[in-house]
Amino acid sequence: MIGYLLEFRALASAIPGTPMSFASPLFLWFFMPVTLLACWLLPPRHRNGVVAAASLFFYTWGAGPYTVLLLSAIAVNYGAGLALDSVRLRDRPCARRAVLVATVGWDVAILAVWKYAGFASRQIDALSGLLGLGDTPIVALALPIGISFFTFHHLSYVVDVYRGSTPAQRSPVRFITYITMFPQLVAGPIVRYHEIAAQLDDTRRDRFGGLAVGFPRFALGLAKKVIVADSLAPVVDAAFAHEGGQLTTATAWLGALAYTLQIYFDFSGYSDMAIGLGMMVGFRLPENFNRPYSAYSITDFWRRWHMSLSRWFRDYVYIPLGGNRGGAPRTYRNLLIIFVLCGFWHGAEWTFLVWGLYHGGLLVAERLLGWDRPPRAVWALALRRGTTLLLVVVGWVLFRSQSMAEAADMLQAMFTWRPGGLEEFAVNRQRMLTFALALVVVALPASRALGPLIESERGPAAWVARSALTWVAAPYAAMLVAAGTFSPFLYYQF
């Protein structure tokens, strides 16, 4: 055990900003058991303190000195919440608005500097070179882990308090628990403050009931990540590592489809693990996925994919911009703004911007054509599902590529015939079997997502699923982790 701990610590120290993966020996056999034991053995009133302390340790392990940045943001937003909810400012709308604007500006500035300053400086340098003005300084800042997520948590908190939809949190321990809660700190789900405020105040909990419900959900996510997503990762990496012109059509399609499966099983697996962990420590986190590849349109896809992010943009950006009010042109403008922001939220690269515009443009086109509503005929529904999945796959090529040139080459190989097979490609029988089974799973007719199903149902099918996840899938995934096959979650980089 100690050997695994030292090995993972060495790996983390070699990669700046490497968080503690849920699918690592350190987390599974040290951090999680110790945290759960502390939550269960100590009186319920200490739950928030235990979760806050464990979460700060969890973050400091991967972020190191960048923990100071997180703590400074916590201090500013905690103080702003108290000010916005104070008697002194209650009848002074201009002062309250000034506090809100200053706090939002602070939060956005943190995100802009640490995530986008490097990208902006590279564009300025490129433009300066084109104009013959010589080189300009390039900003190189390491990206603090989870910065996009904890920034959105802070923003939702101060806006909720400003709107009066929830009172400010007086307890600093509870506020730290909300912001730093380790299940969702690094890669979500994005938890809006009003969704969890009552849970922070209520420390009554069924310790073993939370374990009985939460562990199968955690095991489901661990299996998705380790058994499926990590098995497909070498195939994806090999396809997207090909130099321009070397891809065959078969290789391009296999790589694109493998990444489509990898990112879903990786990210939805993380969300399942986060929700399961939250249950085990006494919190209910929002659902983040609902069979997104069953969507009949891009509009429907975004109701099912990363649902907490979609809801956040809807409530804090889209509706304040006017939403669907003001006529079709304004609605289309708002949709494009949202998806430009969504693209850049994922990363400061042109590929993410184009990916966001691509999805925003598809949403506008669907509204113009009336395709945002479900078709009635079964054959039409099947056709729309297939078309939507194809459009999503094309988008994932943009999302995964390191540059627009790489994306263009991949798409050209997919849609113009390039003969050749999969020779010298990263495929073997186990990976291809995993690929085929995963493709069958996501192609099945739309139904309830497995995660909520195994929690809510009490029939024999749900019992069998929970038992299989607990006693078969979880041990097998743990064996793979012990063999050293774990890797960071894809959304850790965002």
Is 46 annotated in the active site?
Answer: no
pLDDT band for 7, please (50, 70, 90 cuts).
Answer: very low
* Higher-confidence position of 270 and 458: 270
Q: CB-side exposure of 221: number of CA atoms within 13 Å?
A: 27
User: Which one is catalytic: 153, 154, 306, 346?
Assistant: 346
Q: What is the pLDDT of residues 69-97, one digit of tens each?
A: 999 999 999 999 999 998 888 888 899 99
Task: Name the percent of the chain lying above pLDDT 70.
Answer: 91
List of residues 6+ apart from 185 with CB closer than 8 A = 55, 58, 59, 146, 149, 150, 179
Q: Which pTM does this prediction carry?
A: 0.90
Q: Where are the domains of the chain?
A: 47-204, 209-296+374-492
- Burial of residue 16 (CB within 10 Å: 0-12, 13-18, 19+) is middle
Contact call for residues 152 and 312 (beta carbons, < 8 A): yes
Nearest to 61 by CA among 21, 29, 34: 21
- pLDDT (0 to 100) of residue 55: 94
Nearest to 97 by CA among 159, 165, 36, 186: 159
CB 238 within 8 A of CB 255: yes
Ranking 35-39, 353-357, 429-433 by mean pLDDT, the lowest is 429-433
Return the pLDDT at 448: 66
Structure-token pair, residue 231 = 């098995």
Quote the CA–CA distance of 293 and 308 in Å, as a whole number.
Answer: 17
Residues 112-166 have pLDDT tens digits of 888 888 888 888 878 888 877 777 888 777 778 888 899 999 999 999 999 988 8
Which of 169-178, 291-300, 414-423 has the weakest average pLDDT? 414-423
